[in-house]
Amino acid sequence: MTFSMASVRPEQGPPLSVPLAFFFTAPFALIAAGVLIAVRGSEGLASMWGNTALAAAHLGAVGLLLFVMIGALYQMLPTVGGAAVPGIRLAHGVHALLLAGAAALIVGQSGGPVGAFTWAVAALLAGLLLFLTPTGVALARSRAEGPTVWGLRVAVLGLTAVVFAGLRLAWIRSGAPTPGVLASPTGWLTLRIAHAHLGFLAWIGGLLTAVSWQVVPMFFLAPAPPRALPWVTLGGVAASLVGLFTALFVDVEPSTVVWLALPGALAVWLAHPAWTLTALRKRARRRKDATLWFWWLAMGVAPLCLAAGAASAAFDSPKLPLVYGTLVLFGWAGALVHGMLTRVVPFLVWLHWCAPHVGSRPMPSVRELLPQRPIAVGFTVHASTLVAALAAIALDSSLAWRGLGVGLAATGCVLLWEVGTVVARGRAATR
Amino acid sequence: MPEDDWLARALPVEDLTGLEPPEPMLRILLACAGLTAEVVYCARLPHAPRPLYPQLEARGLEWRVGLCPDGTALLWIRGRAR
Ligand code: HEM
């Protein structure tokens, strides 16, 4: 038997409080989005230009997704990249700054004082620099090879790009002078579309695909992706990242931006779900697992994102971009993140709190930390809320929108119950 | 490596490749309870068990990891000589 000896240096993973702080922000963002929509009814929701729609989109994109994904990056970098993030205690400062910045952004976007955008820009810029500098150092230093670590690099570059574009939009909304190229409606639209797709494809798509090449085989005992697939996916995402980032600086038509997003969209919403669904079908462990339902939902919704994106670009209907944003943020990425939390949080709590006592006293298993029932309830509420969102967009009645608000708040409450249960049971077992 | 000649002593290899995380880690930590410098435990895992290393260190154990061409990893553990 041949093998090579591996380094056995204990990795410097973050303290449990770091990922948990980021993960626990997610349910509150969902609750806030739900309350906002329930209170406003149909006001500001007729198109993606409406202030309630923009605020709700960022409660999802930033409050739910960005926080969970940053918490996951802090956790994954030492294990996947083999590189400790320097100054990990600063992560709590990052969390506080991002929280303040996201809150100010939502206040500004939902029609609050314009000055809120200035605070949002300052706090988000500070928080993201404090995050990107040490993680950039860790990723540059990492000697790990393979597509996952490259996927993390592309995703972090995608984060830098989406935030750069977002801060530029927010800075102008704060009342700063508008540079010439953005003064025309098409210039502004180009920037908006490039910003949204840098977020959808390079940041969210880049990270979710890279993470799944690692976790689908690991958590579901499924086959690893064929050798070429991750590189092809990564190539598509990287091509869109470069194209969309370039579009931020040159005078291009909004229709051109859509083409620049195409390679990433095909990779993330077609190639990736095709592999994931095949791998999950071949998984070795076939016991009941409610986490899987989130994967099936997200992977089923992914091609619909592609179709809705194409339809939004092809037809001039205010409803299509709403459908597109809902499918991407809540049906695809939101479902995947919700499902991953139901796996990752019990695992981390078990690892940090229970594993040290194994062998000396009885400890709960991960399935005892988070039983199947809360996960199944979480899935049912999440999936029903997705249907409610599509119905509200179609009907555009105040009642339907308020119903969606209740659904989003309920999804947040169930998510809080899921992650809260794990922490409470983990604490009780080790007390 | 002459100081690693204890690796050759581990006879039965427990196959943990078909288990969902953190089941392999649980099995390993339970097996660690009985280890001495003379008793070596060996397991095959789906990949290098990085999250386990801090636990092994906290228990004062000595361990080595071998990476196999098929992507699996071999883990040897023993108690430290006093
Ligand atoms: C973290 C910093 C971010 C800031 C400061 C920010 C800011 C903004 C602003 C100001 C707008 C609206 C422009 C306008 O008023 O016309 C906008 C639009 C949008 N943003 Fe962000 N954003 C950020 C992150 C993200 C992320 C991570 C995503 C994830 C995908 C995202 C998705 C979107 C979407 C979908 C739109 C609407 C685009 C459209 O319908 O044309 N944003 N953003």
Domain range for B33 is: 4-79
Distance B61 CA to ligand 1 centre (A): 50
Q: Locate tokens 């997704």: which residue?
A: A65
The stretches of A249-315 forming alpha helices (DSSP H) are 254-266, 272-281, 290-314
pLDDT tens per residue, range A329-363: 999 999 999 999 999 999 999 999 999 999 888 99
Average pLDDT over residues B26-30: 94
Domain count across chain B: 1
Structure tokens at A250: 């040159």
Provide the token pair at B65: 């990891």
Judged by CB atoms closer than 8 Å, whether chains meet at A5 and B67 is answered as: yes
A250 touches chain B (CB under 8 A): no
Which of B18, B25, B68 minimises the CB distance to A284? B18
Q: Kindly report the protein residue whose alpha carbon is nearest to atom 20 of ligand 1.
A: A196
Give me the mean pLDDT over the A151-163 stretch: 97
Say if the Cβ atoms of B53 and A8 lie within 8 Å: yes
Q: How far apart are CA B14 and CA A72, in angstroms?
A: 31
pLDDT score at A82: 78
Cβ separation A3–B69 shorter than 8 A: yes
Could you tell me which of B74, B24, B22, B17 has the C-alpha nearest to residue A223?
B17
| Cα–Cα distance list, A413 to A31, A66, A340 (Å) | 7, 19, 17
Residue A265 in this model has a pLDDT that exceeds 60: yes
Given this model, what pLDDT does residue A27 score?
Answer: 98
Contact assessment for residue A77 and residue A138, using Cβ atoms and an 8 Å cutoff: yes
**Burial (Cβ within 10 Å: 0-12, 13-18, ≥19) of residue A10:** middle
pLDDT at B51: 86
Q: How many CB atoms lie within 10 A of CB A215?
A: 18
Identify the CATH number of the domain in which residue B44 sits. 3.30.110.40
Cβ proximity of A202 and A157 under 8 Å: yes
**Contact at CB, A10 and B46, closer than 8 angstroms:** no
- Length, in residues, of chain A: 431
pTM score above 0.80 = yes
Which percentage of chain A shows pLDDT scores above 70?
97
Residue A53 Cα to ligand 1 midpoint, Å, equals 11
- Name the residue among A152, A65, A54 with its Cα closest to residue A107: A54
pLDDT at A11 over 80: no
Measured between CA atoms, the residue of chain B closest to residue A2 is B68
Q: What is the mean pLDDT of residues A142-153?
A: 90
Identify the weakest region by mean pLDDT among A4-13, A194-203, B9-18.
A4-13
Which residues form the pocket of ligand 1, taking CB atoms under 6 Å from any ligand atom?
A 48, 54, 57-58, 61-62, 66, 105, 120, 124, 162-163, 166-167, 169-170, 173, 192-193, 195-196, 199-200, 203-204, 321, 325
Nearest to A6 among B29, B51, B65 (CB): B65
Q: Alpha-carbon distance B74 to A5, whole Å?
A: 9
Type of residue found at A422: V
The ipTM of this complex is 0.86
- % of chain A beyond a pLDDT of 90: 85
Structure token digits, residue B21 = 């995380």
Q: Name A35's Cβ contacts closer than 8 Å, sequence gap at least 6.
A: A405, A409
Domains of chain A: residue spans and CATH = 5-430 (1.20.210.10)
Find the A192 Cα to ligand 1 centroid distance in Å. Answer: 7
Reported as a single tens digit per residue, the pLDDT across A38-82 is 999 999 999 999 999 999 999 999 999 999 999 999 999 988 877
Q: Minimal Cα distance from A359: which residue of B? A: B30
Decide if pLDDT at B71 tops 90: no
